[in-house]
A and B are shown apart, each in its own frame.
Chain A
Amino acid sequence: MRPFAVVSALCGLVLSSSSIVSAQSTAAPLPADFKPPQVFKNVNLVRNTNLEKGYARETINVVVENVDKDPQSEYYLSFPSEVFDRVGGLEVRNKKEAEKGRLDVEAVEIDSLSDVRYLIAHLPEPLAPSSQITLGISYSLLNSLHPRPAAIEQSDRQFLTYSFSAYVPSAYQTVTQKTKVKFPSTNVPNYTATNLKTGEDPERQGSTYTYGPYDTTKVAPGTTHPITVRYEFTKPLITASLLERDLEVSHWGGNLATEERYWLRNNGSTLLNHFSRVDWTVANYQQSPSSAIRELKYPLKPGSVDPYFIDDIGNVSTSRYRPSKGNREANLDFKPRYPIFGGWNYSFRLGWNNELASFLRRAVHGADSYVLKVPFLEGPKMAEGLQYEKVVVRVILPEGARNVQYETVEGPSSNGLPSADQFVAEFSSHKTFMDTLGRTTLTLTVESLTDEARDSHLVVTYDYTLFDALRKPVTITLGLFSVFAAIWVVGNIDVSIKKR
């Protein structure tokens, strides 16, 4: 893996900031009983848990005060180790200066036996003693919703459970904290009630349940109080165990070809009995909600042409494509061959072409330098959301592209992507269509993403000269010429055994 490089002068594109990866320290992992230095105090902490989608999205706003004598800049975030690998799109911002972008977050290597895993958020400037800063921490928890009962009848409604701790896991002492849980509907048949505070806990207000506020001055950091909620969720839990996304740039064709390969799974309740076509026909007729995936709505950018949607055995003829009119988005109604019930799988691939001009431009300062800005993740737009366990994005640049650098675009609000050190980047060469050298390929692998990252963008800069562009025509010409020459030579050899 090459070190991540920052391109500072990208005058053609407006970038508010760019994420930087610091060289990872290769020190030995910390012991399992490691405790972060108690230099901070959480004065007030509010956690918003959103369960409206097929994954849990948590946003924590916390007022942090430095209780140490020296200025401090390393704020430790803690996660129970069983959820740590499923944390997706983690982002920490200074709420007061949100437009300045995210803070750098770095994972702490710790002994694998530890119950708690830590991340270090680097504050932009060290926090002076007894001064305060407000941090906004947001992330998604993948695969954290479990259907109960695990198997239901085909026409039954699906219920999910979500378990969390009433005390927000934190490395520091917290003075007051509360948790707001937002459900998709008011139908919450079971939830844990606590006596951690006087009065009713949780307080219910429509589909929002509030646990707390608790006075937790005397509660040691890391204390848990398990809470489980069970609520109705009639939509599927769409999970892509793998998404491979190829973006192929062709300068000659002026084309940006996109292909996406999905391995989908529905994590919802499985069928108690087997699938019944009669019941399914009736359910479709009545438009009743179902925990099966009927259709994936996939908006494509205006100007997307030549779409195809296939799986291992050919065209998915149940799907439809509605081309864009004018500047409107085109729509791909991708309907799998069969409804995907809980526990069922479906894999397929989609592809389409775009005009390259709307994604690529020359860098201002270098004549042979190009800047490519493409969506990092597109994917279906579903009300119930989508979670991606692993996303592999391949950007296939033209043959001979050099000096390739990349970064993700940061805006004033979260783009759903994790920090840069969570990306595994790899450069390779991809040979296709009579290449001689092979095309420079940038492969980015990210784990645990959600469809929050739909609108994120990736910027790739590279150098590409006229000579590189002419390489292929010249090679083909020479190749054909040598074939003709060889034929001419062979044709002139006389191998007959007749007497002359």
Chain B
Amino acid sequence: MAESPVDVLLKGSSGQSTRGLLKVIILVTIAAAAVSSRLFSVIRFESIIHEFDPWFNFRATKYLVQNGFYDFWDWFDDRTWHPLGRVTGGTLYPGLMVTSGVIYHILRFLTIPVDIRNICVLLAPGFSGLTALAMYLLTNEMSSSPSAGLLAAAFMGITPGYISRSVAGSYDNEAIAIFLLVFTFFLWIKAVKIGSIMWGALTALFYGYMVSAWGGYVFITNLIPLHIFVLLCMGRYSSRLYISYTTWYALGTLASMQIPFVGFLPIRNSDHMSALGVFGLLQLVAFADFVRGFIPGKQFQRLLTASIILTAGLAFVGLVVLTMSGVIAPWSGRFYSLWDTGYAKIHIPIIASVSEHQPTAWPSFFFDLNFLIWLFPAGVYMCFRDLKDEHVFVIIYSVLASYFAGVMVRLMLTLTPIVCVAAALVLSYILDTYLKISSGPVTRGRSNEDASEGLRSARTPEVGITSYFSKAATTSSIIVYLLLFVAHCTWVTSNAYSSPSVVLASRMPDGSQFIIDDYREAYYWLRQNTPANAKIMSWWDYGYQIGGMADRPTLVDNNTWNNTHIATVGKAMSSREEVSYPILRQHDVDYVLVVFGGLLGYSGDDINKFLWMVRIAEGIWPDEVKERDFFTARGEYRVDDQATPTMRNSLMYKMSYHNYNKLFPTGQATDRVRGTKLPAESPQLSTLEEAFTSENWIIRIYKVKDLDNFGRDHSNAVAFDKGNKRKKATKKKGARLLRSE
């Protein structure tokens, strides 16, 4: 304990309350910093929902607020995945929407008129403030030093690894899930430490909340049993473990089964089997512990060995049999891709096509965590020095999360909390050691309290730093690191994680901000000027945004539950018009939307994503769509004169470059993303016609033509019109032909 003797306020009972008050003030300040550092995008742009998935969550929240909870629960959405629809109420994690809905209704009850959009935008920053508090509580359980918790809270508040998923407007499940994750772990540690049913039940309660909020709950489902298992292997069985684990498992599993999307998974899916297995094992161990009270040592050993081998074998055989017979679902594909990073690319291109599912590049560890990443191993080492039950937890968590974070970029999020804990343990230890002004040997305060647990490593000899120079040098370098950390976090947050991606910003020559708002321009055009039931086909990335902003039915969206349907869209995009048109007609498509960055140099456009469409389509129709045909003989992916005929005849290519050359002098048309000159001739579209193009050409919308009045096919009709030199493009409804399949 760093107690300075000078201040009366810091001593005795008044010192207690002063320190308590200081802690509260510091925590509130940390929470405020956590919230405000996430508001860059609101200040720079506006209060707007970001990216892709949040648009769905936002739309679902609006549905919940307007129609009430039961309608939301039973929601069948016929405006997505046309013509299949989606049982939305049963296929989502409702925690996020319900949380916003509850906040909304509380505010409405107090007659405070807050727009539901603002609640959704600010939910993530708000919960990040709570995460910082939860982090304080969790770290406090790990260390006796009061500064560790505060440091961890501060780290958690501003570390970019967490900010990346929780800036204002990033209304995604992770927004509340990380708070729930940390808080559940805190409750779990508390339960293990005390062995109390109440804390175990609380853990189960928040675990249930977590299940309702994020698919990442499986991490808790596996981490807690693993903690118990490791403790058992270390021979640390105690009634505390038994009470806390069985309480958590029984109540938590019941709670998790209340979510329709989870349903019976906890007892039927391999991902959840470890929790069940450990539950059984714990019963055996408890029984063995009970029996040991009655049977002498030697016989007990034999009985124990035999029974463990027997039950373990039985359980394993049972598991295999149940899996083979299909009662227990085998591991899900996403889970496999955690073990084999190449798995997804071969078997499930749709998972591999998402950038956040790529393996992490090593600089991003430093980018997201800065100096915490090199304090992290030291913190884990510190845990080995004490090695109480809770420290075992930190070690297991660290090992698992490090592995997962290396496999998938998005799982950096689960690593971040434990890095903050570990780094805070180290830093608080260093600061506690070096910051004491008083000279002479100082006793480390925790030794007395911890001795009761019987850990020999806790009883350290009396040591201390006496030299003022080394104190000053160490503390000042730590302070420099801390300041650099803050600067780095601010920089990263401001530059990397605060772009809504719906709105793009650039600078005018005079330095003023210029906003490129093509997405909303086109979406709003769709919303205002097309029939409310016009079906929009686009690549699945834009499905949620079209649903949210344009309020029109879509064929595929970011939910990606039906690979075949996505492949159908991929096939329509990557085939010739004669092949695509029947597909469009069969799916009632009215408008096709493509994203084209060629004019502006916007690299996230559909031509760059095109190969994924081809690959996904090829997965279903290997005879009709071939990735190879889109590459030149020399294996290049080109869009200019050298592009392959397949490429140039594909619907996507035609839609992207249709009429584009008219913007340029003859033969000068340039694609600024690919950096190539385009063919002098514009691609000819006969089955689609351009309906709208946004200001900077980022979004292009095409209308699917109706069948020809005279029963010609469209290419003939277009040729006829051209030959006649008459623009008679009005092809209104006429006698319909049978569909040309």
Contacts and interface: CB of A to CB of B under 8 A. Distances in A.
B549 A313 contact: yes
Given A433-B112, A434-B112, A337 B691 contact: no
B268 interface: no
Contacts of A317: 503, 515, 517, 520
A132 interface: no
B524 A434 contact: no
Contacts of B691: 274-275
B111 A346 contact: no
A369 to B, nearest CB: 27
A313 B46 contact: no
Nearest to B515: A317
Nearest to B46: A315
A276 B700 CA distance: 11
Interface residues of A, number: 27
B525 A337 contact: yes
Interface string A343-371: 11111000000000000000000000000
A312 interface: yes
B48 A314 contact: yes
Contacts, number: 76
B520 A337 contact: yes
Contacts of B730: 272
Contacts of A207: none
Contacts of B46: 314-315
A273 B112 contact: no
B111 A318 contact: no
B690 interface: yes
A433 B113 CA distance: 6
A322 interface: no
B697 interface: yes
A351 to B, nearest CB: 13
B528 A345 contact: yes
B704 to A, nearest CB: 12
Nearest to B117: A314
Question: How big is chain B's contact interface, by range?
Answer: 35 or more
A95 B509 CA distance: 59
A277 B528 contact: no
Given A433-B112, A435-B111, A347 B727 contact: no
A52 interface: no
Interface in B619-662: 659, 662
Given A311-B524, A313-B523, A347-B528, A338 B515 contact: no
A328 interface: no
A346 B529 CA distance: 8
Contacts of A347: 528
B432 interface: no
Interface string B501-539: 001000000000001010011011101110000000000
Contacts of A432: 111-113
Nearest to B549: A313
A8 interface: no
Nearest to A431: B111
Interface string A59-92: 0000000000000000000000000000000000
Contacts of B695: 277, 338
Contacts of B237: none
A281 interface: yes
A277 B113 CA distance: 40
A274 B528 contact: no
B521 A274 contact: no
A275 B528 CA distance: 15
Interface of A: 272-278, 281, 311-315, 317-318, 337-338, 343-347, 431-435
6 contacts: A278-B659, A312-B524, A313-B520, A313-B524, A315-B45, A344-B528
Given A273-B689, A275-B693, A433-B111, 19 more contacts: A273-B729, A274-B692, A274-B703, A275-B690, A275-B692, A277-B695, A277-B697, A278-B662, A313-B524, A314-B47, A314-B520, A315-B45, A317-B503, A317-B517, A337-B517, A337-B521, A344-B529, A345-B529, A434-B112
Interface of B: 45-48, 110-113, 503, 515, 517, 520-521, 523-525, 527-529, 549, 659, 662-663, 689-695, 697, 703, 727, 729-730
Sort A-B residue pairs by CB-CB distance and give the 3 closest, nearest first: A277-B693, A337-B521, A317-B515
